[in-house]
Structure 1
Amino acid sequence: MHRLILLPLLPILLASCVPGSYTRDFAKETLAQPKPPTSVEGAWVGEWKSEVNGHEGPLWCIVHPSKEKAGEYDFRYRAGWGLVNFGDYKHTIAATPDAQGNLPLEGEMELPAGLGTYAVKGKLTKTDFEATYQSKADRGTMTLKRP
């Protein structure tokens, strides 16, 4: 009986163990990060939580100045929800570090498939990443630390 249940799940379980480009990039960022961190750039790990429905999940982020646009930062996210659902997305935001090296975070992006606009607002320090997010159907918090 247990074999019948596990057999259909086997491809999903195996696929979740295969590292993709995000997983490889995140591992490289984590190893290359100075300890203690000297800037807001690099790898972050934490969680997101919806204030609308109570859903939550793991969240990873890689932060770097944009290579394409001066004065902007790329936030590469990997978010999880449920047992095996993960999504990767990139959000580029205009931002300027303050005198202490903290990065204020405020920006919007259009979501695919007519899901509306995703907005984020928060602040990154060298050790803390706290933000709120809002979209047409959801709003909540993101809390991350250094891995």
Structure 2
Amino acid sequence: MQTTIRSLFRAVSMGMLALVLSHCAGGQFNQDWNAAVAARQSSAKPDPVTGPWTGTWLSQMNGHHGNLRCLVEPVEATPGAVAAAENLYRFRYHATWGNLMRGGFKADFPVVKEGRNTYLVKGTKKVGLFGDFDHDGKIVGDSFNANYASDVGDHGTFEMKRP
């Protein structure tokens, strides 16, 4: 009985997460994505962290997987607000799963340079009822790989490259 309740809770939690994420995604991401790809392709010396990334995600908890795109941009200080940390970046993720579902979310994480061509990305994002989303990644050249974990038990990987 307890296993059935736990399975039902996970199914409802994943359904609610899908609904929340699908609400966050939209046409603006696609417009921004196309602009970022064009800007990166026309740049003589593209930034090693910012811009578009594309690849896949995989849940190690349940085997769910799909396509993943991410736009990375520096967080700018706004007038009247405390200045943003120099190494703070906004990660805007857009994922697909199944054949019909898609969604996205954004999170601000610090990026720390480690060596000549390596950057570490580590942080936590609170996602309401779904607890905390922990993100631990590494950018090396044109590869961006990360591990994620959430309070509801899901954990997995992101594997991305430059488009």
Structures share a fold, TM > 0.5? yes
Describe how 1:6-85 pairs up with structure 2 within 5 A.
20-33=27-40, 34=43, 37-68=46-77, 69-70=84-85, 71-85=87-101
The unaligned stretches of length 5 or more in structure 1 are 1-18
- Tell me the alpha carbon deviations over residues 66-111 of structure 1, each in whole angstroms, 9 at most, x when there is no partner: 1132221110100111112111211101222234253201100111
- One-letter amino acid of the structure 2 residue matched with residue 119 of structure 1: D
1:138 aligns with 2:138: no
The corresponding residue for 1:10 is: none
Aligned pair partner of 2:123 in 94, 102, 107: 107
Aligned length: 128
Name stretches of at least 5 consecutive residues in structure 2 with no aligned partner. 1-25, 78-83
Q: In the alignment, which of 123, 131, 139 is matched to residue 124 of structure 1? A: 139
TM-score where L is the length of structure 2: 0.72
How does the TM-score come out when normalised to structure 1? 0.80
Q: CA RMSD in A?
A: 1.7
Q: Which runs of 4+ in 1 moved over 3 A?
A: 34-38
120-129 or 27-36, which deviates more: 27-36
Corresponding residue SS for 1:96: strand
Higher helix share: 2
